[in-house]
Amino acid sequence: MKLLEIKKYPDPILRVNCFDVEEVSFKERDLFDSMVYTMKVNNGIGLAAPQIGIAKRLIVAMDENGRIIRLANPCIVETRGSNVMTEGCLSLPGENVEVERAFEVVVVGIDDRNKDVEVKTQGLLARVLQHEIDHLDGKLIIDYRR
């Protein structure tokens, strides 16, 4: 478990379309742990692999109860409703952007034990998951600025 350097805009890695992982093995598990540690040290509630310089589809997030979600190849399969909230990003210090997102999402992916999982959630965690999945497609909150 390592504290990783968070890449800041305009680092080109933040604009990469990241690669799916074939499976979650010890290497990805180790990366997940370092991502969670780095997220917590930086008082974040979500982090995506490109933010630490790795072009893989891996995200971590924390819900309101402090429960940690680790997902590989996350994919939004269902959404419901929408709302607007101001978001920040560890890769864009000082930037705050109002972003409209789905209020509820169903996300499928692979967990840290290489099991297929489905996460159905709403509110803040749903928003964080959408924000982190955006990162995997090279999309940033400043792209939502009107």
Q: How far is the CB of 88 from Co ion (least distance, A)?
A: 8
Distance CA 107, CA 63 (A): 14
Q: Is the peptide bond before 10 cis (omega within 30 degrees of 0)?
A: yes
Phi, psi angles (nearest 5°) of residue 135: -55, -35
Site string (49-88) toward Co ion, x via CB under 5 A: ----------------------------------------
Q: In this complex, which beta carbon is closest to Co ion, that of residue 89 or of residue 133?
A: 89
Q: In this complex, which beta carbon is closest to Co ion, that of residue 25 or of residue 96?
A: 96
Q: In this complex, which beta carbon is closest to Co ion, that of residue 119 or of residue 129?
A: 129
Q: Scanning residues 85 to 124, which ones bind Co ion (CB under 5 A)?
A: 89
Residue nearest to Co ion (CB): 89
Please tell me whether residue 145 adopts helix, strand or coil conformation. coil
Q: Six-digit token pair at 103?
A: 């209020």
- The answer to whether the CB of 32 falls within 8 A of the CB of 68 is no
Q: How many residues interact with Co ion (rule CB under 5 A)?
A: 1
Q: In this complex, which beta carbon is closest to Co ion, that of residue 5 or of residue 118?
A: 5
Q: Which of 28, 98, 100, 132 is catalytic?
A: 132
* Catalytic residue list contains 132: yes
Q: How far is the CB of 34 from Co ion (least distance, A)?
A: 17
Q: Any bridge partners for residue 58, and if so which? A: 72
**Burial zone of 101 (CB within 10 Å; 0-12 exposed, 13-18 middle, 19+ buried):** buried
Distance CA 51, CA 118 (A): 24
Contacting positions for Co ion (CB under 5 A): 89
Residues acting as catalytic residues:
132
